[in-house]
Amino acid sequence: MRRAVLIILAVAVVAAVSLTVVRATGQSDQTLPTIGQVAPAFTLPSQDGSQISLESFRGKWVVLYFYPKDMTPGCTIEAHNFQRDQAQFDAAGAVILGVSLDTPDSHKKFCTKEGLTFRLLADPEHKVVDAYGSLGSMMGMKMANRNTFLIDPQGKIVKVWTGVKVDHHSQEVLAAIAELKK
């Protein structure tokens, strides 16, 4: 019995250390764009196959959120919360753009299954994920780190969230937009 407890403890410690290392190496060699900087330009395909360019949203607030993987629990909660608050984002003159390394087809399935109406952008070559310093990895698999950039109507980054906690994030972003619009 005592040996089993020690083995479980050892496994837990190894798992905790490896997750810490994964998180640290996920962003250690990247530079996040900073507040006040012009947001890096991009054009990516969305879930319907259309090409979406950041430039096309000039004059609007842009919530650019990076997330690890379609149809995973945390990513689903985060997407549902943005969808739940969609009308408030619309009223604030803001668009929501989610970005992951998944394909447009994966995004289409995710949007259909979860009833998502905002755009999810596919970046399987991680060009945009790299430009926003948001490439990470877990157990050797590359994925986007859970980061969000709020871009003002002039195209400048005005707020950055890293290591986002999904439960209240949508409300945090709405509050930031309201505060910045004052």
Active site residue 75: yes
Task: Determine phi and psi for 51, rounding to 5 degrees.
Answer: -85, 125
How far CA 82 is from CA of 20, 54, 87, 175, in Å, comes to 28, 19, 10, 13
The tokens describing 18, both together, are 């490896």
Q: What are phi and psi of 26, to 5 degrees?
A: -65, -30
Q: Which residue out of 52, 75, 120, 122 is catalytically annotated?
A: 75
DSSP notation for 71-125: T-HHHHHHHHHHHHTHHHHHHTTEEEEEEESS-HHHHHHHHHHHT--SEEEE-TT
Alpha-carbon gap, residue 74 to 21, rounded angstroms: 20
Residues acting as catalytic residues: 75
